Amino acid sequence: MNATASVAPAGPQYMRALERANKVRLARAELKRRVALGEIGVAAVILDCPWEAQSMAVADLLMSQRRWGQTRCRKFLAQISMSEKKTVGSMTDRQRRTLAAMLTAVPQSRDQAIELDPRPYQTPPRYVTRERRAMALSR
């Protein structure tokens, strides 16, 4: 029989797992910081899928942007029927391209929204005042 020697690990398994978790946590924090500062776009992260974003939830990545909260994220992902808990690494190429295209089409700040649509803000129909509603009903 041939006896093979295996290399002993550098430490207990739980210590290696803890070390890896800390490394991933720090890398994700740096990625979120860069997204929040606008140094890198979420669409680029989704298309490139770096190692630190592979196991990250899509919602966490979207909410790291400025002015993106849970509600905006949920509504955005509902447009393409994607779960908030879906990880970036488990997305198909088609889902990546769709999400990246939608992100580049959405204005990221109020200044960009004004540049894209210079018309003055109009009240949506569901927020019609009582007077206008009464006038509409009396017609």
Contacts of 69 (CB under 8 A, 6+ apart): 63
Condensed to tens digits (0 to 9), the pLDDT of residues 34-54 reads 999 999 999 999 999 999 999
In a domain? residue 67: yes
CATH value at residue 21: 1.10.8.50
- Is it the case that residue 92 has pLDDT exceeding 70? yes
In a domain? residue 131: no
Q: Give the residue-averaged pLDDT of 13-20.
A: 93
- Is it the case that residue 82 has pLDDT exceeding 80? yes
Q: Give the residue-averaged pLDDT of 63-89.
A: 94
What mean pLDDT is reported for the chain?
A: 82
Range of the domain at 95: 13-119
Question: Which one has a higher pLDDT value, 106 or 56?
Answer: 56
In a domain? residue 7: no
- Is it the case that residue 29 has pLDDT exceeding 70? yes
In a domain? residue 137: no
Number of structural domains (the chain) is 1
In a domain? residue 135: no
**This model's pTM is above 0.75:** no
Handedness of CA 82, 88, 92, 93 (dihedral sign): positive
Q: What is the dihedral of CA 46, 48, 53, 55, to 10 degrees?
A: 80
In a domain? residue 78: yes
In a domain? residue 64: yes
Burial (Cβ within 10 Å: 0-12, 13-18, ≥19) of residue 84? middle
- Is it the case that residue 1 has pLDDT exceeding 60? no
Confidence (pLDDT) at 117: 47
**Residues making up the chain, counted from first to last:** 139
